[in-house]
Chains A and B, each alone.
Chain A
Amino acid sequence: MTGPAKTLRSDTEEPTVVDTTAATATGSGVVLDGVQVVYPTSDGSIEAVRHASGTVSDGRFVSLIGPSGCGKSTLLDVVGGLLATAKGSVSINGETVRGPRRDTAMVFQEDSTLHWRTVLSNVAFGLEIAGVSKKEREARARDVINLVGLAGFEDRHPRELSGGMKQRVAIARALLLDPRILLMDEPFGALDQQTRMFIGRELLRVWDETRKSVLFVTHDIQEAVYLSDEVWVMSARPSTIKSVITVDLDRPRVAGTMADPRFHELTTEVWELLRVESEKALQYRGELP
């Protein structure tokens, strides 16, 4: 491909399934341009991501979905500046990502709360590292704690919280850094189905109030469609961004959204794309004939 990706499109031979109209803006937002990621291993190297391109425009909620082991999280780490690309680049508002940046914040799948700290101190941790005074960071942390629905739990320790609440702490910690883009790596992956649905709605409410861009890794099709403006479907490893589905469901999304026939169409469409790739991935691992 040539030049920075200005539109979201697939880089495979296959045609893009749904073109995007929303992301035709200029270099603003997060631009992935032909990203290739290679892991060195003891016996050679593994190409985790072959060629990923796309743009997350400001304020958009984008989900990254793909068969397990396809490099979704790897790609997120690249955007977060935790991993370097072998080829291609990621830029945020025109600046190439060369390491962790102040305008990105990450939320991980596993519990990443600091068990020896209170909720307040956990949420304020990012600002503590950034050198913000205790008084200021705690005052600001309280606002975010209210926003994510943890008011009253400021002085509790993570061991006293449920899995969903711990993820709220991690989300609040990320939000407090006031990033331009929130990078979420299967943040609800360890939660049960019901908790997941409720916390997903909460996330949308918070997103609505803050209007961050979000890049959200998930393997749950319903979750991806329900939350997102766009769903990027990745291929099996070595992966590419195979298709981009624009989710044209009304916002705010409500409980009834899932009953919408359009919701069903979209999830079916994502599943059809994913099915082929999942089969390839499973065959590769020997779990399917």
Chain B
Amino acid sequence: MTTIGRSRVKSGPAWTHAAQAGLIVGLVALLETATQTGLISPMVLPPPSDIGVRLAEIVPTAAFAQDLTTTVSTVLIAFVVGAILGLALGIGFWRFPFVGAVFEPYLVSMYSMPTLVLYPILLAILGVGAAPIVVIAASMAMIPVALNTMVGLRAINPSLPKLAKSLNCTRVQLYWKILAPAATPLIVPGLVLGFIYAVIGTIAMEFILAPNGVGFRIGYFYRSFDIVDMYAYILVASIIAITANVLLNRLERRIRQDMQ
């Protein structure tokens, strides 16, 4: 069979989705078998079915509701703060190219730096609680937003500001009717990445220094050897991250379609 013939039979979104679902089902089945037969120790990984049952028990509890609320609201606050700062920085770096040129390499290296390790300093300054978590998660979210905003504005076709000037656009019209929509196809991916960073930052920081929240629970159950509960919460954290990612990617695709 030729390559063309093969790709014709097995490609297409329906096939892809089926294969993707099959992969998950297969993996879970494999892990279930391995754990039930004792191939994998229950201290390393309990049977997925146990985790599922425990998760179903946890979800209706008030403690879970509180953890989820804490984590989700922290993520949202961190994202909003990070996005506003990132947009402002990105616009500033674009407006003042000298400042942009000075800060850009540091901002890019902050991408690769594990910002999380700054927590002891923040802990000393801000104390235990929501503040250091928000600060770290927000500063992680800020970086991709700032960089993408700057790049998005720089990439604007120079004839557009010229057009604005020739039409005597006001500053507000220039920003809202030309620059913002023109840069949106690059700003939105920055916001999506920023949101994902806010989720990662929040859960990781909760792990270390929160009194509650999904991340805190994972660490708490880990330290008390409640492995099934730990995995149940890991599943919750994963579901939050995956859901956010899917929704944001859909939003991004729609916006790109409309704006490009």
Chains A and B come from one and the same complex: yes
Judge whether B157 and A111 touch: CB under 8 Å.
yes
Query: Does B158 make an interface contact (CB < 8 A)?
Result: yes
Interface window among B8-16, B164-172, B213-221: B164-172
Query: Does A129 make an interface contact (CB < 8 A)?
Result: yes
Give the contact-size bracket for chain A: 20 to 34
CB distance from A173 to the nearest CB of B (A): 9
Query: Does A266 make an interface contact (CB < 8 A)?
Result: no
Judge whether B259 and A115 touch: CB under 8 Å.
yes
Judge whether B165 and A82 touch: CB under 8 Å.
yes
Going nearest first, the 9 A-B pairs with the smallest beta carbon separation are A112-B159, A108-B159, A116-B259, A110-B159, A106-B166, A129-B167, A116-B181, A100-B166, A112-B163
Q: A55–B182 Cα gap in the complex (Å)?
A: 37
A-chain residues with CB within 8 Å of residue B184 when the two chains form the complex: 116
- Seen from chain A, the residues whose Cβ lies within 8 Å of a Cβ on chain B are 80-82, 99-100, 104-106, 108-112, 114-116, 125-126, 128-130, 159, 177
Give residues 211-260 of B contacting A (CB, 8 Å). Answer: 258-260
Closest residue of chain A to B164 (Cβ to Cβ) is A129
Q: A177–B177 Cα gap in the complex (Å)?
A: 18
B-chain residues with CB within 8 Å of residue A129 when the two chains form the complex: 167-169, 173, 177
- Say which residue of B159, B163, B182 sits within 8 Å of A109 (CB atoms): B159
Closest residue of chain B to A173 (Cβ to Cβ) is B163
Query: Does B28 make an interface contact (CB < 8 A)?
Result: no
Given the interface pairs A114-B181, A116-B184, the reply to whether A82 lies near B258 with Cβ below 8 Å is no
Query: Does B6 make an interface contact (CB < 8 A)?
Result: no
Closest residue of chain B to A159 (Cβ to Cβ) is B260
A-chain residues with CB within 8 Å of residue B258 when the two chains form the complex: 116
CB distance from A149 to the nearest CB of B (A): 22
Query: Does B178 make an interface contact (CB < 8 A)?
Result: yes
Judge whether B158 and A110 touch: CB under 8 Å.
yes
Judge whether B260 and A82 touch: CB under 8 Å.
no
Closest residue of chain B to A117 (Cβ to Cβ) is B181
Query: Does B160 make an interface contact (CB < 8 A)?
Result: yes
Give residues 135-174 of B contacting A (CB, 8 Å). Answer: 157-160, 162-163, 165-169, 173
CB distance from B222 to the nearest CB of A (A): 48
Judge whether A80 and B166 touch: CB under 8 Å.
yes
A-chain residues with CB within 8 Å of residue B159 when the two chains form the complex: 108-112
Q: A159–B184 Cα gap in the complex (Å)?
A: 16
Q: A275–B260 Cα gap in the complex (Å)?
A: 42
Q: A111–B160 Cα gap in the complex (Å)?
A: 9
Q: A114–B168 Cα gap in the complex (Å)?
A: 16
B-chain residues with CB within 8 Å of residue A128 when the two chains form the complex: 177
Judge whether B157 and A114 touch: CB under 8 Å.
no
A-chain residues with CB within 8 Å of residue B177 when the two chains form the complex: 125, 128-129
Judge whether A114 and B166 touch: CB under 8 Å.
no
